[in-house]
Amino acid sequence: MSGPIHIAILAAMPRHALRGNTQGRGGGHAATWLPPLADALLTAGELRISWLTFDHTVSKVEIDRDSNQEFWRIPQTKIKINFFLRQWPARLQLRKILNQIKPDIVHVWGTECLYAIALQDVKVPKILSIQGCLTAFNKVWKPSYVHSVLGREEPVRVREADILTCESLWSAEQIREIHPSGDIRVVDYGVHPSFFDVKWDPDPHNPILLYSGSLDCRKGFDLLIDALAALPHRNWKCQIIGDGPLRSSLVARNLPGVEWLGILRWKEMQEKLAKAWALVVPTRADTGPTVVKEARVIGMPVIGTRHGGLRDYIRHGESGIIVDPLNSDHLTKACSRMMEDYSHVREMGGKYWQEDREAFSSELTAHKFIYIYQEIARQHGFWK
């Protein structure tokens, strides 16, 4: 084959987010690593990429083109109807387009999305990139109906893929339990380039501990509430970015020195990160999380746990603190320890900073996926 390798990528990747226009989680897009990945792939001349994305704002299929990529915006059937009909509307829509464009490789992002339903109809090589491991997540929280159904399907979807990619060793370990013989690769999903330009400049006279994420038990937010309640006379503030089912619990406790900021767009969030002393993420299960990577490329220390990919992003006692075992008492002690010494906070933030910036770049993520695409193409004899 002399032409480019044709990749169909099925993912929640809004077209407007390309070319540096991503607004962040507060801008209505959760998989924040996908737009910069698409940007980084724009110069990969050996690839031709078709992005297939469900979009509730269109009434018919629309196609945009940019360099070596095209973006198919597919009308989205309501989630409840899709699941009532056992996801057949989504499956048929994706099958029709895939039969039309005839890609060499199909790359699906996320078992928590509808796109993975297409794997059972694909005859070409298949890649599945894990975003959230529902099998692990559903053990630590009460899943919604949708997450419950998709969680039961996850082992089937995982076994249908030829190659599985995970953003962390923790995520790979969870998937290995589902599919012991699977071809599993660890590919860190990169941080948006705008975070690399943020200057970490905390005020030594205004100590702030920052939490950013969903306010739910999977993220350990209940533990954080209890830890803050155990420190009523602390001399530092805690700012909360995000929203979720435990916001009512936070409001009811009326804790002193706690400020809820809601969901912020990236520019506002980056301003808060730049001024905070440290980030706290007491998660019970997390493939990443992305906010820890964002903090590390900025140069912030992190209080985290062993229950997710963040265990490998934090060097305990050097670039942060690992709370182990995870409970509110240990979290209380970790927060107090982190926030008692500004000079130590600055020192911890700088540890392994350059290494983390290199590890979490979108260009490196793109390079690793290009390698996988080329490897598959060579193995199947349609690219040299």
- What average pLDDT does this structure show over 29-50? 88
pLDDT computed for residue 213 by the predictor? 93
In a domain, 200, yes or no: yes
- For the stretch 269-311, pLDDT in tens is 999 999 999 999 999 999 999 999 999 999 999 999 999 999 9
Percentage of residues of the chain with pLDDT beyond 90 = 84
pLDDT computed for residue 23 by the predictor? 60
Q: Judge if 240 and 315 occupy the same domain.
A: yes
In a domain, 314, yes or no: yes
- Structure token pair of residue 127: 């890649």
- What average pLDDT does this structure show over 86-110? 96
Q: Judge if 142 and 231 occupy the same domain.
A: no
pLDDT computed for residue 28 by the predictor? 43
CA–CA distance, 130 with 259 (Å, rounded to integer): 33
Q: Judge if 116 and 64 occupy the same domain.
A: yes
Contacts of 180-186 spanning 24+ positions with Cβ under 8 A: 182/158, 185/368, 185/372
In a domain, 34, yes or no: yes
CA–CA distance, 300 with 346 (Å, rounded to integer): 8
Q: Which residues contact 48 (CB under 8 A, 6 or more apart)?
A: 3, 4, 5, 6, 7, 68, 69
Q: Judge if 281 and 304 occupy the same domain.
A: yes
Instruction: Specify the 3-state DSSP secondary structure of 287.
Output: coil
Residue pair 351/315 in contact by the 8 Å Cβ criterion: yes
CA–CA distance, 375 with 119 (Å, rounded to integer): 20
Q: Judge if 185 and 248 occupy the same domain.
A: no
Q: Judge if 154 and 228 occupy the same domain.
A: no
Across 37-41, 121-125, 225-229, 375-379, least confident range:
37-41
Q: Which residues contact 177 (CB under 8 A, 6 or more apart)?
A: 135
- Structure token pair of residue 107: 């790359």
Q: Judge if 202 and 106 occupy the same domain.
A: no
Residue pair 309/168 in contact by the 8 Å Cβ criterion: yes
CA–CA distance, 206 with 235 (Å, rounded to integer): 9
Q: Judge if 250 and 218 occupy the same domain.
A: yes
In a domain, 47, yes or no: yes
CB atoms under 10 Å from CB of 205, counted, come to 6
Query: What is the CB-side half-sphere exposure of residue 253 using CA atoms within 13 A?
Result: 22
In a domain, 384, yes or no: no
Residue pair 7/103 in contact by the 8 Å Cβ criterion: yes
CA–CA distance, 237 with 220 (Å, rounded to integer): 19
What are residue 54's DSSP bridge partners? 74
- Structure token pair of residue 353: 């900073």
Residue pair 205/343 in contact by the 8 Å Cβ criterion: no
Q: Which residues contact 160 (CB under 8 A, 6 or more apart)?
A: 119, 120, 126, 128
Q: Judge if 292 and 324 occupy the same domain.
A: yes
Q: Judge if 166 and 211 occupy the same domain.
A: no
Q: Which domain holds residue 109?
A: 5-190+361-379
Q: Are strands 184-186 and 302-304 parallel, antiparallel or unpaired?
A: unpaired
CA–CA distance, 280 with 237 (Å, rounded to integer): 12
Q: Which residues of 11-39 are buried (b: 16+ CB within 10 A; e: fewer)?
A: bbbbbebbeeebbbbbbebebbbbbbbbb
CATH of the domain at 241: 3.40.50.2000
**pLDDT surpasses 90 at 12:** no
- For the stretch 154-207, pLDDT in tens is 999 999 999 999 999 999 999 999 999 999 999 999 999 999 999 999 999 999
- What average pLDDT does this structure show over 352-367? 96
Q: Judge if 52 and 150 occupy the same domain.
A: yes
In a domain, 316, yes or no: yes
In a domain, 284, yes or no: yes
Q: CA nearest 310: which of 298, 324, 293, 326?
A: 293
Q: CA nearest 258: which of 266, 246, 267, 270?
A: 246
Q: Judge if 180 and 225 occupy the same domain.
A: no
Number of domains in the chain: 2
- What average pLDDT does this structure show over 31-38? 87
pLDDT classification of 27: cutoffs 50, 70, 90: very low
